[in-house]
Structure 1
């Protein structure tokens, strides 16, 4: 056995001259083998840092015991919000005796489908998912539900299937942010959002729209733009418009996009917030690492993750019926910093 490979039950059986079944019984404290043999095998396993395959063991016994592994699909690991949601899921799951298996869709529908198939084959007890940006067909989600696998959607919920969901109060968060900028004197507020097939983009756009309408202001520029690179690419043209057409504020669907706007505005010689006000949506670590620090809407990702795990585990354990659609809304909070007056 190579030194860098973990020891297996097969290795222990070979080294001690016993069967794999005997090793398994000893490690599971079975009374079917002698105390001396059990002690010998357990000591050898401990000395060689043997750890049982927990997931494999659960699969072998899944007919009699529920699989206590939750599948989680995140669009991107690098995004602060998704990382904070995952943290909340793991904390709640571990506290209730569950483990988490995580996969990243990379915002791709085909990869999301493959992950769902893998989770189903590995017999996870349920799946928590935020759908990919380009997901417009939902057969893979419906298939899981038809086969008795509970699903809980978070952030980007799927309206194509009747599944449980946890969302933040996107509409009111956007409405509060845009109203704040209007109250500070902004009159031409641009909106950078995600594709409108996503409910979060619709809800945040509606909050933006209604705040302008209520205050008697016309819609300004609306663009599909939801990352820093895109923001840096399209903002120079917008900030080069004539004075009476150029936005005096931007509301962005996430902090990374807002920071791209901030970087571009400063590079072009605009003062923030005196010339241009900017507000994001996340309140991640980057929002306080820029200059000036970013005004943003706090999403409370950890709370979203905890709620999603709570719903799923309750459905797995039967305290919440699997055919009951549960919905939780986590409230947002406007955090005012230096990019708005």
Structure 2
């Protein structure tokens, strides 16, 4: 038989006081005597009393919960961000609730509605690859619930944002490939409506233009998702085109790894015949053979800063009295064995 939960009424009955007295004692009300508070707390601990957080949130209109919406959690990228968030929030009075949108705009809207009903105090979100309108996020702001956007931008939506300079990372990668002697550089980009896709594509294009190299439409392909499987067909198409590339700059490390797999199956040497550069610097990237050149971005720091901004907002009463912050981290190119080395003149 399930044991009944201990309530404030149970404690009041045993001490022969009013339930309101117990409630005030547990909340350290200054009007009560110290002896009364100690008796209530001692009995509450003995009986194993735990406050009903849902009831408290309804009473106070505050849940002490921060919602975190991410497209997925299987990759190192989002799991590291969540770890960064948790490590900051753990030292506060708040808890986090992780919600998965599964790259679905409809699911993201449903999650926002649920978080509103649960009276969460703030929401940290990395939008889906399908999200193009942001009225559901504006609804949160209209209810004085701060929204912190991280990783993927929401252009035109005013909020605190923690992003990475994707343009700079892409430009660095392609500029390096050019300097290493590659002349036919292809790009495997992400879903077209994502801010990260657009910025990395623009970095790729500008690096080519800066070097007075032609932009070949057949060298640009876009994947539908971000897993290794999503990069297989687009890579085959690139490597079977009339103008075969001698380098590929990929949207992320998983897509770069799929490019390495297809290239090997075709008998191409890496980096002799084909240089490959990814983006993200996943932990396993250094241990592939050849090890993967990539663009590092500080994912753990993205999570930590996003959480700090949320807590600061909550401390200053949500949306009031403070301009929105735009924080942009700088990525760094990490050169390994999957790309040609730049020859230095003696």
TM-score, length basis structure 1: 0.86
Pair 312,218 (structure 1): closer, same or farther in 2 beyond 3 Å: same
The answer on whether the counterparts of 2:6 and 2:47 sit within 8 Å (CA) in structure 1 is no
Query: Aligned equivalents of 2:81 and 2:135: distance in 1?
Result: 25
Matched, 1:325 2:324: yes
Residue matched to 1:239: 239
Unpaired runs of 5+ residues, structure 2, are 341-346
Which of 8, 11, 20 is the aligned partner of 2:5? 8
Residue matched to 1:106: 102
Unpaired runs of 5+ residues, structure 1, are none
Query: Aligned equivalents of 2:8 and 2:312: distance in 1?
Result: 40
Residue matched to 1:76: 72
CA shift at 1:52, angstroms? 4.3
Pair 323,24 (structure 1): closer, same or farther in 2 beyond 3 Å: same
Instruction: Write out aligned runs for 1:255-274 (5 A).
Output: 255-274=253-272
Which of 271, 275, 278 is the aligned partner of 1:277? 275
The answer on whether the counterparts of 2:286 and 2:292 sit within 8 Å (CA) in structure 1 is yes
Which of 160, 165, 181 is the aligned partner of 1:169? 165
Residue matched to 1:228: 228
Give 3-state SS (helix, strand or coil) of 2:295's partner.
strand
Tell me which stretches of 4 or more aligned residues in structure 1 moved more than 3 Å.
10-14, 16-27, 29-41, 50-53, 319-323
| Corresponding pairs, count | 328
Residue matched to 1:115: 111
Query: Aligned equivalents of 2:192 and 2:156: distance in 1?
Result: 14
The answer on whether the counterparts of 2:188 and 2:234 sit within 8 Å (CA) in structure 1 is no
Give deviations 1:242-267, integer Å, cap 9, x for gaps.
4xx10111111111111111111112
Greater mean alpha carbon deviation, residues 126-135 or residues 67-76: 67-76
Matched, 1:294 2:297: no
For the aligned residue pairs, the C-alpha RMSD in angstroms reads: 2.9
Matched, 1:148 2:144: yes
Matched, 1:130 2:133: no
TM-score, length basis structure 2: 0.85
The answer on whether the counterparts of 1:294 and 1:339 sit within 8 Å (CA) in structure 2 is yes
Give 3-state SS (helix, strand or coil) of 2:278's partner.
strand
Give 3-state SS (helix, strand or coil) of 2:129's partner.
coil
Query: Aligned equivalents of 2:85 and 2:112: distance in 1?
Result: 18
Give 3-state SS (helix, strand or coil) of 1:128's partner.
strand
Give 3-state SS (helix, strand or coil) of 1:133's partner.
coil
Query: Aligned equivalents of 1:324 and 1:147: distance in 2?
Result: 17
Query: Aligned equivalents of 2:181 and 2:320: distance in 1?
Result: 50
Query: Aligned equivalents of 1:94 and 1:106: distance in 2?
Result: 26
Give 3-state SS (helix, strand or coil) of 1:191's partner.
strand
